Amino acid sequence: MGASRSASVALAALMAGCVGYAAQAESRLDPAPSVVQSAAAPSASPDQGKGDTVATGAISPPVSPSPDLAKPAAAGEAVQAPASPSDTGKAETTNAGAGSDPADAVAAAPVPTDPMGAALAARLADPAPLLARLSTKDREAMQAFYGLGAFKPVWVVDGVFTPAAKAAASRLSLAAEDGLNVQAYPVPVIGTQGLTEAQTAEIELKLSAAIVLYAKDARGARINLSAISRLITPTLDIPGADAVLARIASAGPQAGTVLQGYNPAQAGYLALKARLASLRNLHGAPMAVSPVTIPAGPVLKVGMNDPRVPVLRRHFGLPTRTAGTLDAASGEPDAFDATVSAAVAKFQRGRGLPATGTLTPQTVAALGRAEASSRVGDEEATVLVNMERWRWLPSDLGRDYVLVNIPEFRLRVVRNGMQRDESRVIVGKAETPTPVFSGMMEYAVVNPSWNVPPSILKNEFLPALARDPNYAARRGYEVVYRNGNISVRQPPGERNALGFIKFLFPNNHAVYLHDTPNRSLFSASQRAMSHGCVRVDDPFRFADSVLPEAWSSERLKKLIGKGERTIRLPEKLPVHLAYFTLDADDRGSLRTFSDLYGHDARMKIALGLAPGSLLVAKAQVKAPAKVAARPATPAPSAAGASSEVRRAASHAAPSGANPARAVRAPAARSAEAVPVDPWGPAPAPAPVSRGWW
């Protein structure tokens, strides 16, 4: 009877939840400058900062789901919210029905009349937090999920956990395997006494909250990335709470596998995960360290039976009973056997207790206390930081894609899942870092011109002109002075800063891949030298890998010197600008790269892996400034460039002022030098740049 109720509720919730998930525009990470959001930590977003509060009120019937959209996802398939780069950083949203908000689905419906449903509805309407990091949007999505299921429990039926609940709880207890903080997902315990409706509702909803937070964290929601750097702007595919609950509830005994599937599955991530397990096994660190309440009782030794043993088995992720053999039958769930004893001994070693393997009162007390993460070694912390970065990438990188690993100074092209080419690259300097995000390459330009950004014009071009009046003429710049503003353009040619070809993937940072006339720089081992764009060592060989076959490198080279030519790709090509300081090579061996921009140190603080605070000045980053539009009138000749620039400088600046003041560009910002409060208001979004190179 209980199993059929659970199955029917899960099916109804799955249909409704999947509709809501398909209809939502995006479940987005809130941009508040939070650091790691552990179970005991303050909230990160404006909603989270108030706890998981929910507006109370009557419950309304949800929008009917469309049959065409109400198809459950395949088991083990990670659900991803549709994402748009232009929406990155907006507050997280989760819709419960097609075109509806979760709050609308529960705004004015009648309260359930059965005691269990009424208890669930009342607890959902109660503003008391379920978990510290559960946001208002998550809470509203949970209300919609349970409202669509007539407020029937899906995890606790007839006073016991369902198979889906047991499988999900087992995965939560093993969250540390994927570098997550087990303490953030506490699993409630069902005691030996009977449960009231209110107690059942509390256990039910706290398990739901833990499952939702695990899925979101597995997709990158633990850290507010703007607190690390305003130039880390990936589009995170954070799943909605209702969609997560629908998938897990419908998975039955496979719920743990489905829940774990929200973590990345790329080979690079799996190599780091294996290294993490190796480090922890080497140091004897326990994998399950979340606090759990064990009732008082006698000291347990191997061979004894006790009703507390099933709780230990769930906590340590052990099978519900020992498997049978040819010589012996399977064990009992409450048997304190050698497997349970070994798990207890490992825990005792990790907590500095005598590793006897017996359940003593001291061990029971230690199980109920949270363990600090200060014992994590530096190598382990580096592994965890780089595992977290895999969560910033799409769960599916694409059949074809370009991946640039910034600290490695290397670019790779993958076609049909196989690496086709790789190349050395030059990336941004420490003061002008290359941003971290994913985009879609749309076209290439042969013989590109370069419009000098105002920031470079002010900080580099005009000071050089002050030192050398012939600077502009020698370099062939075209300069226009209009209404106190200067626009400078470098026409195509072998001295052009972009070289002979550039590859564009439109983005808010206005960075791209391009050639360079300074090819001798690629021989350096440390190649952080650009203003933010990525310079490619052999751009024509790279073009062979990414452009249509009709545009071979030989054909492209014949276009040199014949004016600008735009070549569109038949299909957009994903480009991932990543930042891995620890990465696996083709053989699975891990390689270490320098932390160019100091992201590692700030992430370790944010994840609680190192002491310190993000309320410190970080490496300065110049503001991406907006480039003046290309002049509509013909530009002056190169011969008259230097005199016009100097006249513009003298007209735009007071007498005796530095010529650099002639440019009316936004003042350079120190985006990373401003103290960032990890729990306070969100910082202003990064200004849109135009033409970093």
Among candidate residues 665, 668, 686, the one with its CA nearest the CA of residue 453:
665
Strand, helix or coil at 21?
helix
Asked whether 405 and 526 are in contact (CB, 8 A), the reply is no
Cα angle value 123/124/125 (rounded, 5°): 90
Please state, in angstroms and rounded to a whole number, the distance separating the CA atoms of residues 325 and 546: 57
> Is there a catalytic annotation at residue 283?
no
- Which pair of structure tokens corresponds to residue 623? 């503001």
Please state, in angstroms and rounded to a whole number, the distance separating the CA atoms of residues 468 and 44: 51
> Is there a catalytic annotation at residue 18?
no
Sign of CA dihedral 311, 313, 317, 319: negative
Please state, in angstroms and rounded to a whole number, the distance separating the CA atoms of residues 548 and 536: 19
Catalytic residue chosen out of the listed positions 315, 514, 576, 599: 514
Please state, in angstroms and rounded to a whole number, the distance separating the CA atoms of residues 524 and 528: 10
Asked whether 185 and 223 are in contact (CB, 8 A), the reply is no
State how far Cα 407 lies from the chain centre: 19
Q: What is the DSSP pairing of strand 437-446 with strand 565-578?
A: antiparallel
Catalytic residue chosen out of the listed positions 315, 509, 531, 533: 533
Asked whether 669 and 18 are in contact (CB, 8 A), the reply is no
**For residue 337, how many C-alpha atoms fall within 13 Å in the half-sphere facing its CB?**
16
Residues 6+ apart with CB under 8 A from 99: 23, 63
- Which pair of structure tokens corresponds to residue 280? 């922890």
Among candidate residues 322, 369, 358, 383, the one with its CA nearest the CA of residue 580:
383
Asked whether 181 and 373 are in contact (CB, 8 A), the reply is yes
Residues 6+ apart with CB under 8 A from 637: 478
DSSP codes joined into one string, 332-361: PTTEE-HHHHHHHHHHHHHTTS----SB-H
Lookup result for tokens 């819709």:
95
DSSP codes joined into one string, 668-693: PP-TTTS---TTSSPPPPPPPPS---
Lookup result for tokens 């419950």:
59
Residues marked active site are found at: 514, 533
